[in-house]
Amino acid sequence: MRATSFGIRSTVVGLLGACAQLGFAGTVEPLYVAIPSGSIASVLSGGSADNAPTTVAGFEMRLKPVTVAEFLKFTEQKPEWKKTKVPSVFADSNYLHQLETAAISPVHAEQPITNVSWFAAQAYCESERARLPTWYEWEYVAAADAAHADARKDPAWRAQILGWYSKPSSSSRQRVGGDVNFYGVDNMHGLIWEWVDDFNALLVSADSRNQGDPDQLQYCGAGAISLQDRDNFAILMRVALLSSLSGSASTNDLGFRCARSPTP
Amino acid sequence: MKCMPSGFGKPIFRHFLGGSIVCCLAALSMHAGAQPTSVNPVQAPVFPGDSVYQVAATLTDQDGRAFKMGDHRGKPVLVSMFYTSCKFVCPMLIDTMALTQQSLSTEERARLDLLLISFDPARDDIQKLKSVAGARDLGPAQWTLARTDATSARKIAATLGIQYRLLSDGEYNHTTVLVLLDADGRMVGRTKKIGTADAEFIKLVKKVLSASNHTGQ
């Protein structure tokens, strides 16, 4: 684990993460937390009429979104992900916008990284022997408020989340941390949009059974995905955003965190 | 096009780097000797920045042979993604690829590779791919049916602009699209017309085949 110029804190967190990975997590702060298995009535239907809740197997979620300092350290170790090196098929021109040219202040270093493509996010997670969470995993953890695993029916909580979306994105971003939910996971709402592993699977499409018109035959499968729980605007907006993106897209408010399947 | 600081010495690369040769030479001279640690004794192929062959995933074909998408370099490729247990649209997808192939001359056909990649690695093993290739008479000289791990399938799909999602009944919702890659793995065309041969698309296939033929091997 190399020290960086971003100050002691990120180094310490990195070291602690390494310890946690080696199984020495005791009193130290780990990078990931175990999320117990359960089920969630997703805003996306699974394609069947009854829309039965989806089972989410136990997994590990990264406690915090990946920060600017963490991502820059990654690009030092994997220079192929620097802005100047990354192939255009993996990242568009907004990738790491203004990041590598600007001096990184200690405050900026602790902000979540944004302007990262899905490919870059996936590669970062692989460097932590992890992956991006699936949509269901993300939605499952994001359903929790500070006290309940599923607070989605609480109108006050919904309103609080929605409040973030009405803030202009130009207002300065907070550093990561300080908004821990039921699982101990930070910043699921109110800080950034987040990539998920299956971002290109959140199809919200017309029915695919129109076999007659060749122009309409875009989707295969017995049933179309449709949106459920239409009152849950905050989550539906995430689906809408993610399903509109290509894997090389990078935008100002889109960052990520990683997840891991339990080691067998 | 991005600068490729190394590894473009193979003749086949030269044409495609075309206009950026000067910029690449400049990059080479800047890098020359400066980074001895970055020299890889086994020269990995260098693809253009906008090539889907940048995805270095390992796939396995219907005969159990491991390969990378970039191994198709040098020939245009018609590529799509599917799953073998799909009953309706995927057979039509294969039909459409075959129709496109049949609308070419014998000489053109020999120079177009057809690649179908499964996004259902849990169920699509090599035997399944082999049996689809056999049942549909998809000759191995031109047709490759392939599988890979779930992560790589997602990456390839993201590069090709293909969406897929497993539904609760085991079927997939997915984009049905034919993507045309040029000899260097760049996406140069796509069609969502399934069930009939898309005349405009075939025109494009012929054009790309002709261009790749003139630039030679």
Reported ipTM: the value is: 0.77
Does the beta carbon of A88 lie under 8 angstroms from any beta carbon of chain B? yes
Cβ neighbours for A252, distance < 8 A, ≥ 6 positions apart = A94, A97, A114, A115, A169
Q: Which residues pair with A39 in a beta bridge?
A: A55
pLDDT value of residue B153: 96
Mind listing the pLDDT tens digit for each residue in A134-159? Answer: 999 999 999 999 999 999 889 998 88
With respect to residue B189, please indicate whether it lies within any of the assigned structural domains: yes
Residue B1 pLDDT level (bands cut at 50, 70, 90): very low
With respect to residue B104, please indicate whether it lies within any of the assigned structural domains: yes
With beta carbons less than 8 A apart as the criterion, state whether A36 and A63 touch.
no
With respect to residue B200, please indicate whether it lies within any of the assigned structural domains: yes
Does the beta carbon of A92 lie under 8 angstroms from any beta carbon of chain B? no
With respect to residue B4, please indicate whether it lies within any of the assigned structural domains: no
Cβ neighbours for B125, distance < 8 A, ≥ 6 positions apart = B147
With respect to residue B21, please indicate whether it lies within any of the assigned structural domains: no
Cβ of A218 within 8 Å of Cβ of B157? The answer is no
With respect to residue B93, please indicate whether it lies within any of the assigned structural domains: yes
Token pair 């499952």 is found at A140
With respect to residue B14, please indicate whether it lies within any of the assigned structural domains: no
Which residues form the domain of B159? Answer: 57-216
Q: What is the mean pLDDT of residues B4-19?
A: 38
* Alpha-carbon distance B76 to nearest alpha carbon in chain A (angstroms): 18
pLDDT value of residue B6: 38
With respect to residue B49, please indicate whether it lies within any of the assigned structural domains: no
Candidate from A48, A119, A200 with C-beta closest to B168: A48
Mind listing the pLDDT tens digit for each residue in A44-89? Answer: 866 666 677 889 999 999 999 999 999 999 999 999 999 999 999 9
Cα–Cα distances (Å) from A93 to A196, B159, B160, in that order, read 21, 16, 18
Count of domains in chain B?
1
Mind listing the pLDDT tens digit for each residue in B141-157? Answer: 999 999 999 999 999 99
Does the beta carbon of A218 lie under 8 angstroms from any beta carbon of chain B? yes
pLDDT value of residue A175: 87
Tally of helices (H runs) and strands (E runs) in chain B: 7, 9
Cβ of A202 within 8 Å of Cβ of B2? The answer is no
Candidate from B54, B175, B196 with C-beta closest to A214: B196
Spatial CA neighbour of B130 closest among B64, B66, B82, B62 = B62
**Domain CATH code at residue B143:** 3.40.30.10
